[in-house]
């Protein structure tokens, strides 16, 4: 089976069992201890309990619990006793991603395939997948850190008990909890930064913007005829300072963010695309040595041209 996978899927499209490794499938049951980058608010490393029963999965961390059941994703905020309910995201890989199985090895006593998923910008993730369960036992960026070493795994199983599912009560909101719909707000100072509204600073000119961020933002790869810069701001991000420029012609507008490109992988988006907190579509690309993100009032093909993904 593994040998067949290696010969037949070296450059094929992403197979269904990879999606099932993320999303689960009927009969899949396990309990584990997992170390991972904290999902949701903040970006600290955390260790917690995870379990799956079929296509339902739960993750318990010290700040709260996440569970996915049916079409819903729920975050149980332990401090406030608020349950945040939203739609469940699909398998996180862009449709134009390249998939390759590079080898097999043993991990936690299980035979796994080591596969790589790479986006059109050359960034992506390396996955250790148990194809029998199926389950992603480890995930890490393909890129190296600036010092040349490997980035820490984003998700890494430390132990695994196969056949031990989550209790049925794990997929219920506790009685008496407040139910809110949407994404939980980022707690202030959880990762050492102020609230996002306090991290945005407007300036009066392109010169002031360059002085504030320490670089001169490039021109977007493409803009509609008549679009010029209308306003400038800089934003404190976990990757450093980013420049924001609003371009428009008085009728339409597009907001473009620039920062020096690092080695972190691009965000994986659901099939419906990435969206900001206001529900607007966000597009990602590159211009030379700068990473670009953009949102605006243009159609999707035009937005892809703005961030350099289409000519």
* Residues 246, 216 share a domain: yes
CA 180 to each of CA 48, 123, 170, 255: distance values in angstroms, whole numbers, following the listed order: 24, 35, 18, 29
Domain end, chosen from 146, 181, 216, is at 181
Predicted model pTM: 0.56
Per-residue pLDDT of the chain (311 residues; tens, 9 = 90+): 333 344 334 445 778 888 899 899 999 999 999 887 654 434 455 788 999 999 999 998 777 889 999 989 999 988 789 999 988 877 656 666 788 899 999 999 999 999 998 865 556 788 999 999 999 999 888 765 444 444 556 788 989 999 999 998 999 999 999 999 987 765 544 444 455 567 789 999 999 999 999 999 999 999 999 999 999 999 887 667 899 999 998 888 899 999 988 655 555 555 556 776 666 788 988 888 898 999 988 898 999 999 988 87
CB 111 within 8 A of CB 5: no
CB 125 within 8 A of CB 142: yes
CATH number, domain of 136, equals 2.50.20.10
* Residues 206, 138 share a domain: no
Domain end, chosen from 181, 209, 236, is at 181
* Residues 228, 88 share a domain: no
- Of the candidates 106, 38, 104, the residue with the CA atom closest to the CA atom of residue 75: 38
Exposure string of 215-239, with b = 16+ CB inside 10 Å and e = fewer, is bebeebbebeeebebeebbbbeeee
What is the per-residue pLDDT for 277? 61
Calpha distance 109→288 (Å, rounded): 44
Number of folded domains that form the chain = 2
* Residues 167, 240 share a domain: no
Phi-psi region of 288 (alpha: psi -120 to 50; beta: other; left: phi over 0): left
CATH number, domain of 246, equals 3.30.200.100
* Residues 203, 87 share a domain: no
Structure tokens at 232: 């400038």
CB 246 within 8 A of CB 255: yes
* Residues 149, 95 share a domain: yes
Give the β-pairing of 240-248 and 228-237: antiparallel
What is the per-residue pLDDT for 311? 78
What is the per-residue pLDDT for 123? 66
Calpha distance 247→219 (Å, rounded): 11
What is the per-residue pLDDT for 113? 95
Cis peptide bond upstream of 134, omega within 30:
yes
Which range of residues forms the domain containing residue 18? 2-181
Residue 113 lies in a domain: yes
Q: What is the SS3 string spanning 178-212?
A: EEEECCCCCCCCCCCCCCHHHHEEEECCHHHHHHH
Residue 6 lies in a domain: yes
* Residues 264, 237 share a domain: yes
Helix (H) or strand (E) holding 230: strand 228-237
What is the per-residue pLDDT for 205? 93
């Amino acid at each position: 089976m593994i040998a067949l996978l290696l010969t037949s899927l070296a450059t094929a499209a992403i197979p269904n069992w990879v999606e099932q490794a993320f999303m689960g499938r009927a009969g899949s049951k396990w309990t584990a201890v997992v170390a991972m980058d904290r999902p949701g608010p903040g970006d600290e490393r955390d260790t917690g309990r995870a379990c799956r029963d079929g296509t339902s999965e739960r993750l318990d961390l010290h700040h709260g619990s996440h569970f996915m059941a049916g079409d819903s994703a729920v975050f149980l905020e332990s401090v406030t006793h608020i349950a945040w309910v939203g739609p469940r995201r699909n398998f996180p890989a862009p449709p134009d991603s390249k998939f390759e199985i590079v080898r097999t090895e043993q991990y936690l006593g299980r035979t796994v395939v080591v596969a790589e998923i790479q986006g059109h910008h050359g960034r992506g993730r390396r996955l250790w997948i148990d194809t029998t369960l199926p389950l992603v036992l480890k995930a890490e960026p393909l890129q190296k850190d600036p010092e040349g070493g490997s980035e820490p795994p984003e998700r890494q199983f430390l132990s695994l008990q196969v056949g031990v599912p989550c209790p049925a009560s794990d997929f219920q909101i506790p009685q008496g909890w407040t139910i809110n719909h949407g994404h939980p707000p980022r707690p202030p100072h959880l990762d050492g930064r102020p609230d996002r509204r306090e991290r945005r600073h407007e300036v009066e000119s392109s010169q002031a913007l360059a002085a504030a961020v320490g670089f001169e933002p490039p021109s977007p790869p493409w803009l509609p005829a008549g679009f010029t810069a209308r306003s400038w701001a800089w934003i404190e991000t976990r990757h450093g300072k980013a420049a924001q420029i609003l371009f428009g012609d008085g009728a339409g507008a597009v907001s473009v963010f620039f920062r020096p490109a690092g080695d972190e992988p691009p965000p994986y988006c659901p099939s419906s695309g990435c969206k900001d907190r206001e529900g607007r579509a966000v597009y990602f690309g590159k211009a030379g040595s700068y990473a670009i993100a953009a949102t605006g009032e243009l159609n999707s093909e035009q937005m892809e041209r703005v961030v350099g993904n289409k000519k």
